[in-house]
Amino acid sequence: MFRLDGKTALVTGGGSGIGQAICELFGRQGAAVAVVDVQAGAAQETAARIEAAGGKATAHGCDVTRAAEVAAVMDTVVEKQGRLDILVNNAGIAHVGTIETTGEADFDRVIQVNVKGAYLCAQAAVQRMLPRGGGVIVNMASIASLIGVPERFAYSVSKGAILTLTYSVAIDYVKKGIRCNCIAPARIHTPFVDGFVKKNYPGKEEETLKKLSEYQPIGRMGRPDEVAALALYLSSEEASFITGQCYPIDGGVLVT
């Protein structure tokens, strides 16, 4: 079950954290993985890890906010592999602030990466999936798509857009063989989180990480591999009857 043999999967933000975990799991499950990241070196490192484990992978540096770069990477992947079956829209950034403390430049940057990036990648993927009869898109939303999260104004706005982007793509292409779902994680412990805490809460790292862990009623942050397992399921043939859905993975946040 949950094999991806013969499939080509493109994962954005694949150089670290959740994206890296998804890439490595997809590689173990038989997919040819296109690792895409704005940091080309990080993408190369993930691809090397997949190949060292016996999988197939290519690395691609790409700024997902630039349409020409996205199209070029998609074309390269299709030319090399002959197909694109799965897109995981995982690339994203965060920002701390309320509506009062969020500057215009910060707001624009979050929307550019989190929303425009997902739009450009999904658009390019759909255009390349349709001639082959379909494919799968998995978007990375957040519990911030579904509930209020304090001091995450711009991020929450962007992830709300990802939720409705998912619904829109799902309904427009349900008759054309493309499934589109999203994942809504609570806090997942990644190197990104550690860096985020260090930058925004200097001198209070331990206290902040403890607070972030306790936010989930289950008592800890999630792990990247747990999110990767859900992404694998949604990308597999076992999920062939599922589209237009949002799957929380939240340690009990939404039930409290």
- Rounded to whole angstroms, the Cα distance separating 130 from 111 reads 27
Nearest to 84 by CA among 119, 46, 122, 141: 122
- Rounded to whole angstroms, the Cα distance separating 99 from 138 reads 29
Residues 63 and 130 in one domain: yes
Q: What is the pLDDT of residues 132-152, one digit of tens each?
A: 999 999 999 999 999 999 999
Judge whether 164 lies within some domain.
Answer: yes
Question: What percent of the chain is predicted at pLDDT more than 70?
Answer: 100
Residues 149 and 208 in one domain: no
- Rounded to whole angstroms, the Cα distance separating 32 from 5 reads 8
Judge whether 236 lies within some domain.
Answer: yes
Give backbone dihedrals phi and psi of 30, rounded to 5 degrees, phi first. 105, 0
Q: Are 33 and 53 in contact (CB under 8 A)?
A: no
Judge whether 252 lies within some domain.
Answer: no
- Rounded to whole angstroms, the Cα distance separating 118 from 161 reads 10
User: Looking at residue 142, what is its pLDDT?
Assistant: 98
**Confidence class for position 256, pLDDT limits 50, 70, 90:** confident
The count of C-alpha atoms lying within 13 angstroms of the C-alpha of 131, restricted to the half-sphere facing its C-beta, is: 8
User: Looking at residue 196, what is its pLDDT?
Assistant: 84
Q: What is the pLDDT of residues 188-222, one digit of tens each?
A: 999 889 988 998 899 999 999 999 999 999 999 99
- Rounded to whole angstroms, the Cα distance separating 78 from 54 reads 22
- Catalytic residue flag (residue 247): no
- Helix intervals (H) in the chain: 17-28, 40-52, 67-81, 104-111, 117-129, 153-173, 191-200, 205-214, 224-235
Judge whether 238 lies within some domain.
Answer: yes
Q: Report how many domains make up the chain.
A: 2
53 lies in which domain range? 8-185+222-247
Which one-letter DSSP state was computed for residue 245?
-
User: Looking at residue 247, what is its pLDDT?
Assistant: 98
From 155, 173, 215, 247, the catalytic residue:
155
Residues 208 and 116 in one domain: no
Judge whether 148 lies within some domain.
Answer: yes
Structure tokens at 167: 């619904």
Q: What is the pLDDT of residues 89-114, one digit of tens each?
A: 999 999 999 999 999 999 999 999 99
Residues 124 and 202 in one domain: no
User: Looking at residue 119, what is its pLDDT?
Assistant: 98
